[in-house]
């Protein structure tokens, strides 16, 4: 009997996903969800042909050198800044992510965070729970309107477009965006979105949502100078990646009312959160949950598992990030 390929599932996942993988592979899993130190992760990768990862496992030249038999790493995330894709390609290792299956769910969450931020929902709930609500007042928790306002989107991929459609069609918002490349006219029309320079986006958006991938180029794309360009009544929402916003600068801007409020789902160095952000009231903070619905997380896990099966069993991954590896195999 031919031995099944050995794979590592780096974090706890649905039992059904483990069962799916066990049909094809010898699976070393981590259902206790221990965060392995780097040396332990590398030691566990050593004899594996495939790995199922999340955003918390870094796959770079060092990890690849420690795992000479590795052929594929399937990330259960659309973002893949935990992968050094050129190093994976050089090592002949296929990299996959989970696009499309989380687009609408993540766009829903972006909108939820925008509304919670603009309408001061969590801040007012804390006030109520603390027993401070003793009378109505004309200006109590007055926020910013969402309907009819100008929605700015930085990063206009699939999720950005989902947010644009919700804003334009659901809330009658004037949608503007900035992106590395301009959308084709049909997509701009479907989103009712107008392309603008980054400076204009910063200056005119009432609500600015960040949905761009993290890279060296997008590091601190929003820092003190960019925050200073925004309207004092503006809100900022980050559902993209920690590091795109300079969290210390954001905390200062919120404290000094440079902008009105922020909704933040992703943080520099998460799960640590900058203490200054915890100290300001005008920020809604959530623990990286934009894709967290049961059906979507199941779809993401299934797509990551299907990529492992697709490649290691049938020779064809579903959503490769470096398809050139397949050609040279
Ligand atoms: C994941 C995400 O939950 O898909 C992404 O890029 O940020 C989230 O949906 C997270 O990265 C865990 O892998």
Please give the pLDDT value at position 328. 73
Question: 0.75 exceeded by the pTM?
Answer: yes
CATH number 3.30.1300.10 given to 103-285:
no
Q: Write out the chain's pLDDT in tens, 329 residues.
A: 678 999 999 999 999 999 999 999 999 999 999 999 999 999 999 999 999 999 999 999 999 999 999 999 999 999 999 999 999 999 999 999 999 999 999 999 999 999 999 999 999 999 999 999 999 999 999 999 999 999 999 999 999 999 999 999 999 999 999 999 999 999 999 999 999 999 999 999 999 999 999 999 999 999 999 999 999 999 999 999 999 999 999 999 999 999 999 999 999 999 999 999 999 999 999 999 999 999 999 999 999 999 999 999 999 999 999 999 998 76
Contact 146, 173 (CB under 8 A): yes
- The enclosing H or E element of 280 equals none
Using alpha carbons, list the distances in angstroms from residue 71 to 49, 127, 268. Answer: 5, 53, 30
**CA-closest candidate to residue 72, choices 9, 19, 11, 29:** 9
104 tagged catalytic? no
pLDDT of residue 1: 60
CA–centroid distance, residue 76 to ligand 1 (Å): 7
Cβ-contact 25, 6 below 8 angstroms: yes
In this structure, what token pair is assigned to residue 112? 């939820």
Rounded to whole angstroms, how far apart are CA atoms 329 and 315? 10
Measuring from each residue's beta carbon to the nearest atom of ligand 1, which residues come in under 6 Å?
A: 54-55, 76-79, 102, 291
Task: State how far the Cα of 154 lies from the Cα of 262, in Å rounded to an integer.
Answer: 15
Residue-level pLDDT at 2: 74
Reported CATH class of domain 6-99+294-328: alpha beta
Whole-angstrom distance, CA of residue 198 vs CA of residue 117: 22
Cα Dmax for the chain? 77
Same fold, 6-99+294-328 and 103-285: yes
Sequence spans of domains, the chain: 6-99+294-328, 103-285
Q: Is 324 a catalytic residue?
A: no
What's the 135 CA to ligand 1 centre distance in angstroms?
Answer: 42
d(CA 312, CA 18): 16
**Is 270 a catalytic site residue?**
yes
Q: Is 83 exposed, middle or buried (0-12, 13-18, 19+ CB in 10 A)?
A: buried
Helix axes 158-165, 103-118, angle to 10 degrees: 50
Task: Compute, in angstroms, the gap from residue 231 CA to the centroid of ligand 1.
Answer: 30
d(CA 327, CA 92): 10
Residues making up the chain, counted from first to last: 329
Kindly report the number of other CB atoms within 10 A of residue 279's CB atom: 11
Question: Helices 15-22 and 294-312, interaxial angle, to 10°?
Answer: 10
- The pLDDT value given to residue 329: 63
> HSE of 274 in the Cβ direction (CA atoms, 13 Å)?
19
The answer to whether 194 touches 177, Cβ cutoff 8 Å, is: yes
């Amino acid at each position: 009997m031919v031995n099944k390929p050995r794979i590592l599932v780096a974090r706890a996942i649905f039992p059904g996903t483990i069962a799916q993988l066990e049909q094809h592979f010898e699976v070393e899993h981590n259902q206790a969800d221990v965060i392995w130190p780097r040396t332990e992760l590398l030691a566990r990768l050593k004899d594996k042909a495939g790995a199922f990862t999340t955003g918390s496992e870094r796959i770079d030249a060092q990890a690849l050198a420690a795992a000479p038999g590795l052929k594929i790493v399937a990330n259960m995330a659309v973002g893949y800044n935990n992968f050094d894709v050129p190093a994976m390609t050089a090592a002949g290792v296929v990299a996959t992510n989970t696009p499309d299956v989380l687009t609408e769910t993540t766009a829903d969450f972006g909108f939820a965070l925008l509304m919670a931020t603009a309408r001061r929902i969590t801040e007012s709930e804390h006030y109520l729970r603390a027993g401070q609500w003793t009378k109505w007042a004309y200006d109590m928790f007055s926020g910013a309107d969402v309907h009819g306002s100008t929605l700015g989107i930085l990063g206009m991929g699939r999720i950005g477009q989902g947010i644009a459609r919700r804003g334009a069609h659901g809330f009658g918002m004037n949608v503007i965006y900035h992106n590395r490349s301009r959308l084709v006219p049909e997509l701009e029309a479907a989103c009712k979105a107008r392309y603008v320079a980054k400076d204009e986006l910063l200056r005119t958006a009432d609500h600015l949502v960040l949905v761009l991938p993290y890279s060296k180029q997008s590091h601190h794309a929003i820092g003190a100078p960019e925050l200073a360009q925004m309207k004092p009544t503006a809100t900022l929402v980050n559902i993209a990646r920690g590091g795109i916003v300079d969290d210390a600068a954001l905390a200062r801007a919120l404290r000094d009312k440079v902008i009105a409020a922020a909704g933040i789902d992703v943080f520099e160095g998460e799960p640590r959160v900058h203490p200054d952000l915890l100290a300001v009231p005008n920020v809604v903070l959530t623990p990286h949950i934009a894709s967290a619905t049961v059906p979507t997380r199941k779809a993401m896990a299934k797509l990551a598992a299907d990529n492992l099966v697709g490649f290691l069993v049938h020779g064809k991954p579903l959503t490769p990030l470096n398809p050139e590896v397949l050609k040279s195999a």
